[in-house]
Amino acid sequence: MIPDNNTSTLPGLYIHVPFCVTKCPYCNFYSVTDRSAIPSWINALRREMNWYKGEFEHFDTVYLGGGTPSVLSPNELAAVLDGAYEAFTISGDCEVTIEANPGDIDEDFLSVLRDTPVNRVNLGVQSFDDTVLAYLGRRHDSEDCRTSINLLRNSGYDNIGLDLIYAVPGQSMKSWKVTLEEALRWKPEHLSCYELTLETGTPMGRRFADGDVELPGEDERYDFFMTTSERLEKDGYIHYEVSNFARREMFRSRHNMKYWNHVTYLGLGPSAHSFSGNRRWWNHASLERYISDLEQNRRPVEETEILTDRDLRLERVFLGLRTIEGISSSDPVLLEPPGSDILRQCLADGLLERRAGRIVPTRRGLALADQLAVLL
């Protein structure tokens, strides 16, 4: 029985689909644009599933992320999901999510999707402002977003998430508010609002490092965050994690909450991360290496990390303080410095507050959660 806030302690399954039609210049996720290797990737993926049979038996979330899972053909999508359902026990009430690019949603795609167990679609809208979409190098425009949402709704999808990005260079608050208002008009069950961050390994990140791109300053980014949180909460959305909002408790992302709640998850595909108990491991961020390892009956694992009790405790605090559940008031981190000093100061500064035996972040605290992680 899944509780009201859609959390669970069963493991989650993540499948990384490492293909995109084009690369967005700000993106740091592993993917390739040559899709000729999709059949070999599917074979490798099915082998990898077999590796974990027995070790991981039962999942109650499946998340197809990427990359762009919606570039898969109907048969390819079916082969991936069939593989997962054959290899593992998957709950009848499993949350099965697919990330989709707005331009890929059409009648053909939906006619196939309806026959799969997918019951949640996360649409990479990013913005309803075409200038922002063009700056981000997206291959869809705002009209594609509207068409996709309409098609999904008309197909009966009643659990849709929209991903949006703010603090894009040159983006005004007015443009962001227009995007937020349009997003709200569609009444999505879930909204993820991410601040644009630029990694040095990306084309836009390199331009940023060279001084050719300027990101909004700290105050402006804070304003974007606070405006977003206040506006979405005004419409009844629950701001349950730094970047995530649910229209009702039951629409929280059950899968993503496993990451924040330290629940076990298995990640399959190149670059995918997994976590179990005190162990974290991740696959090679190379499609070639991933396929060749599995063809030669080797696990495609790049590295494994064993977390000490202290690592786990600090992670639990850091992750907990990114969610509205916060941490228990009796968490050991509160007893000894430096954690106790930092948290006491955050309480005094109004970044955290005590509520029902827990210490939870305020809206300002959520805005500064990344900085808190560095201090802890």
Name, in order, each residue with C-beta under 8 angstroms of 371's C-beta and a sequence gap of 6 or more: none
- Kindly state the smallest distance separating residue 350's Cβ from ligand SF4, in Å: 35
Please state, in angstroms and rounded to a whole number, the distance separating the CA atoms of residues 345 and 361.
13
Q: State yes or no: cis peptide before 338, omega within 30 of 0.
A: yes
Please state, in angstroms and rounded to a whole number, the distance separating the CA atoms of residues 354 and 136.
40
3-state SS, residue 101: coil
Q: Is 29 in the site for ligand SF4 (CB under 6 A)?
A: yes
Please state, in angstroms and rounded to a whole number, the distance separating the CA atoms of residues 31 and 124.
16
Q: Is 148 in the site for ligand SF4 (CB under 6 A)?
A: no
| Subset of residues 123 to 142 that bind ligand SF4, contact rule: CB under 6 A | 124
| Long-range contacts of the stretch 170-173 (C-beta < 8 A, 24+) | 170/131, 170/135, 171/127, 171/129, 171/132, 171/135, 171/216, 173/223, 173/224, 173/227
Beta bridge partners of 340: none
- Kindly state the smallest distance separating residue 251's Cβ from ligand SF4, in Å: 22
- The closest residue (CB) to ligand SF4 is 27
- Kindly state the smallest distance separating residue 372's Cβ from ligand SF4, in Å: 27
Per-residue string for binding with ligand SF4, 43-82, x by CB under 6 A? -----------------------xxx--------------
Structure tokens at 61: 């979330």
- Kindly state the smallest distance separating residue 27's Cβ from ligand SF4, in Å: 3
- Kindly state the smallest distance separating residue 138's Cβ from ligand SF4, in Å: 7
Q: Is 20 in the site for ligand SF4 (CB under 6 A)?
A: yes
Cα 166 from chain centre: 16
- Kindly state the smallest distance separating residue 67's Cβ from ligand SF4, in Å: 5
Count of residues engaged in binding ligand SF4, rule: CB under 6 A? 11
Residue among 23, 177, 358, 364 that touches ligand SF4 (CB under 6 A) = 23
Q: Pick between residue 196 and residue 232 the one whose CB is nearest to ligand SF4.
A: 196
Please state, in angstroms and rounded to a whole number, the distance separating the CA atoms of residues 276 and 120.
25
Please state, in angstroms and rounded to a whole number, the distance separating the CA atoms of residues 363 and 36.
46
Residue among 10, 17, 24, 242 that touches ligand SF4 (CB under 6 A) = 24
Single out the residue of 251, 222, 243, 250 nearest to residue 323, CA to CA: 243
Residue among 6, 8, 31, 202 that touches ligand SF4 (CB under 6 A) = 31
Applying CB under 6 A, the span of 23-31, 168-176, 258-266, 326-334 interacting with ligand SF4 comes to 23-31
Structure tokens at 86: 């054959």
Q: Which amino acid is at 203?
A: P
Applying CB under 6 A, the span of 27-35, 113-121, 169-177, 216-224 interacting with ligand SF4 comes to 27-35
Applying CB under 6 A, the span of 26-34, 184-192, 196-204, 252-260 interacting with ligand SF4 comes to 26-34
Please state, in angstroms and rounded to a whole number, the distance separating the CA atoms of residues 334 and 160.
38
Q: Is 15 in the site for ligand SF4 (CB under 6 A)?
A: no
| Subset of residues 87 to 106 that bind ligand SF4, contact rule: CB under 6 A | 101
Q: Is 27 in the site for ligand SF4 (CB under 6 A)?
A: yes
Please state, in angstroms and rounded to a whole number, the distance separating the CA atoms of residues 167 and 179.
12
Query: How many angstroms separate the most distant Cα atoms in the chain?
Result: 58
Q: Is 271 in the site for ligand SF4 (CB under 6 A)?
A: no
Chain contacts with ligand SF4 (rule: CB under 6 A): 20, 23-24, 27, 29, 31, 66-68, 101, 124
